[in-house]
Amino acid sequence: MVWLSRVLTMESDNSAGPSDPKRTRSRRKSYVKSFRSEWLSLPEFKGWLEEHTTTEAKCKACGVIVKCGKSDLRKHSRTAKHEAAVKTFNATTSVTKLFHKVCAENDPVKIAEVKMAAFFAAHNVAFETVDHLIPLLKDISESKILDKVTLGRKKCTNIVKNILARVETEELAQTLRETTFSILIDESTDVSSQ
């Protein structure tokens, strides 16, 4: 039975790990780094970096969330995926910038087109009739503004969806934020009251 106790003590010594101090690994303390707003003005991070949480940053070009270490951010900026995404991100201009540029040139025409698109949406008129209404209005009127209007079914649909709907949604949300309201639920349909 002595041999059994020796085997058991040998197994327990081996399971404890190597007895050689050179082989044991020391674990480094990991420090949580927080986002610094001054990084946004640095040339290497400018344009693509934004704060995600207090300990994470987000790359606007890639959509990737990165830890807030400066070395982690630099490492991300050197990846091929990020460099390609930044090139396309800087090359594209937002739709709102394009719309404002066009509006500055043809302001009365754009206002007329938006008003007509709002009319079609408010009165539930089919967008297919736009293709026939605009030539009719041009025949009737001699106005210079009406001559420049190019509002078709697709353009009318896009104006309603992308411009008017966005503005109305924001106005409705603002009204709901400012106005107190409650939702009344009828108890007769509530299963828990039975």
Structure tokens at 97: 């910038």
pLDDT score, position 100 = 59
* Residues 61, 49 contacting (CB under 8 angstroms): no
Tell me which residue range forms the domain holding 54: 37-91
- Comparing 177 with 90, which gets the higher pLDDT? 177
Confidence of residue 169 (pLDDT cuts 50, 70, 90): very high
Measure the CA–CA gap between 153 and 130, rounded to whole angstroms. Answer: 6
pLDDT score, position 104 = 56
Residues 66 and 108 in one domain: no
- Comparing 119 with 93, which gets the higher pLDDT? 119
**pLDDT tens-place string over residues 33-85:** 777 778 777 888 777 778 878 778 888 878 788 887 778 888 888 888 888 88
Residues 106 and 172 in one domain: yes
- pTM equals 0.35
Looking at the domain assignment, is residue 45 inside a domain? yes
